[in-house]
A and B are shown apart, each in its own frame.
Chain A
Amino acid sequence: MALDTQKNVYTILFAAGMVLVVGSMLAFVSSALKPTIKENERFEKQQNILYAMGVNQNSDEGSVSFIPTSEVEQTFFQHIKKQLVVEGDQVTESPEAYLIDMKKEIAASKKGLAPKLPVFIGEKDGKAYYILPMYGKGLWDAIWGYIALDEQLTVQGVYFDHKGETPGLGANIKARYFMDDFSGESILAGNRLAGIQVAKGNNDPLNRDKEDNQVDALAGATITGNGITAMIAETMYLYRDYLQTIRAK
């Protein structure tokens, strides 16, 4: 071959050419797939919110089944009657509240700015559900979820998800046996917004005691469990004023 691949000029040209080709290829793939990916993410949010309020296709097998993506949009607007944005004392209605990024809002509140906090009011079989989004950190990366409360501030359901918790350990926060334990727990201890603690060794593995503000922890996932406890506490703190208005009703 006449090509001298040892020359410096060739090396630099090759590198530059490769960067151009690979860069534009990735840019093309990314922009071509972006609308589909965005839509998937939107459906996922709707599925998660509905899951927390108990609108899902769970059977007794112990696995999590969402409303299928083909129906989720319709089901979402059918069950979620109101989407509110709580900003300081102001509560406004917004049909796109579910697209608010909690990560940004929590970061804003840590900087002392007033966060825009979404609240979804759902209705199922004539009963009202107040669904709050949560966002926090686990062992390796972000964890987030939704918590559905009734008017007495008793948990009606939760959904947790994570970016990169350890499979078999922390990743089990999104397993049915963990999430189901939260249902029926009160976030109140007396009059205080106590949240729910993921507790090790509370001698209640079957979670019979619904008044103790505790659920049984996952073996081998202390930090992820603490992350859940902290995430719920943070949500209670952010929404404290709004939660009082629910109770007053």
Chain B
Amino acid sequence: MGLLNKKDSKLVLDPLADNNPITIQVLGICSALAITAELRPSVVMAISVMFVLGIGNVVISLLRNIIPSKIRIIVQLIVVAALVIIVDQVLKAFAYELSKTLSVFVGLIITNCIIMGRFEAFALGNSPWRSFLDGIGNALGYGIILIIVGFFRELLGSGTLLGFPVLGDPIAKTGLYATGYENNGFMIIPPAALIVVGIIIWVQRSRNPALIEEN
């Protein structure tokens, strides 16, 4: 990457694979289970988290020398909450349709462990630019997993992608359904997300044995 030196680009690229927040650090699992039944909310959640984590990391990093360590968690929480409320209000005012699709998910960003985790682990000890890159990288890593899980759950569970039928019509029995194929209702419920995430972790670790912890 021409724009970033090697150390900086590592900040963005590492969380995409070998230090992925969901599959390696096992953070942000709650939202990965809750909102991935369809692809669209997964994509929007990924974008919103990127916004909040990118800016939040910068804010915390700018304040890192003046935050009293005793109340740093509360300070972090307030920064996330304030950002999330602003995102929510701006969406309601200027992208009303989108804000309705997101409904509760925007609020859920506050409870996303990745955000507090990156504030605590990275932004408190690094410069704003590096923190920004770290935030974007982790949000991307989170988003990729969300989109993969959302893709499979919507495809196998509802036979649609982003709401468009891709496998034919299950009621009129056209397309793939004509061969006797049925949607897997299990994919729509949250435990299915756990299984898909599990499969991703399995594939990732068998491709890169260095990721497997020794006991």
Check if A78 is an interface residue, CB within 8 A of chain B.
no
Check if A108 is an interface residue, CB within 8 A of chain B.
no
Check if B141 is an interface residue, CB within 8 A of chain A.
no
Min Cβ gap B67→A in Å is 7
Measured between beta carbons, the chain B residues less than 8 angstroms from A14 are 66-68, 71, 75
Min Cβ gap B195→A in Å is 16
Measured between beta carbons, the chain B residues less than 8 angstroms from A161 are 100
Measured between beta carbons, the chain B residues less than 8 angstroms from A248 are none
The segment from B19-27, B35-43, B47-55, B132-140 found at the interface with A is B35-43
Check if B69 is an interface residue, CB within 8 A of chain A.
yes
Q: Is the CB of B68 within 8 A of A6?
A: yes
**B-side interface mostly:** helix
Min Cβ gap B163→A in Å is 7
Measured between beta carbons, the chain B residues less than 8 angstroms from A167 are 35, 37-38, 41
Report which of A3, A30, A69, A163 forms a contact with B89, defined as CB distance below 8 A.
A30
Check if B4 is an interface residue, CB within 8 A of chain A.
no
Kindly supply a per-residue 1/0 record for chain A positions 33-57, scoring 1 wherever the CB is within 8 Å of any chain B CB and 0 otherwise.
1001100100010000000000000
Q: Is the CB of B171 within 8 A of A205?
A: yes
Bound together, the chains give a CA A163 to CA B69 distance in angstroms of: 38
Q: Is the CB of B70 within 8 A of A11?
A: yes
Q: Is the CB of A220 within 8 A of B185?
A: yes
Residue of chain B at shortest CB distance from A174: B100
Residue of chain A at shortest CB distance from B103: A164
Instruction: Contacts A15-B74, A33-B89, A168-B38 given; indicate if A63 touches B188 (C-beta within 8 A).
Output: no
Instruction: Contacts A5-B69, A14-B66, A33-B90 given; indicate if A168 touches B103 (C-beta within 8 A).
Output: no
Count: A-B pairs, CB below 8 Å: 82
Min Cβ gap B212→A in Å is 34
Min Cβ gap B139→A in Å is 21
**Contact residues on B (Cβ < 8 Å of other chain), bracket:** 35 or more
How many of A's residues come within 8 Å of B, CB to CB?
36
Residue of chain A at shortest CB distance from B37: A168
Measured between beta carbons, the chain B residues less than 8 angstroms from A37 are 89, 92-93, 96
Min Cβ gap A32→B in Å is 9
Min Cβ gap B79→A in Å is 8
Check if B86 is an interface residue, CB within 8 A of chain A.
yes
Q: Is the CB of A25 within 8 A of B82?
A: yes
Kindly supply a per-residue 1/0 record for chain A positions 206-248, scoring 1 wherever the CB is within 8 Å of any chain B CB and 0 otherwise.
1000000000000110000000000000000000000000000
Residues of B at the A interface (CB closer than 8 Å) are: 35, 37-38, 41, 65-71, 74-75, 78, 82, 85-86, 89-90, 92-94, 96, 100, 103-104, 153-154, 157-158, 163, 165, 171, 185, 188-189
Apart from A6-B68, A15-B74, A29-B86, 6 more pairs, CB < 8 Å: A10-B68, A11-B70, A11-B71, A29-B85, A40-B92, A63-B163
Can you list the 10 inter-chain pairs with the closest CB atoms, starting with the nearest?
A: A168-B37, A11-B68, A36-B93, A40-B96, A33-B93, A164-B104, A168-B188, A37-B92, A22-B82, A5-B68
Interchain residue pairs with CB less than 8 A apart (28): A3-B66, A6-B70, A11-B70, A14-B68, A14-B75, A15-B71, A18-B78, A25-B82, A29-B90, A33-B90, A33-B93, A36-B94, A40-B96, A44-B96, A140-B104, A141-B104, A161-B100, A163-B103, A164-B103, A164-B104, A167-B38, A167-B41, A168-B37, A168-B154, A169-B189, A205-B171, A220-B188, A220-B189
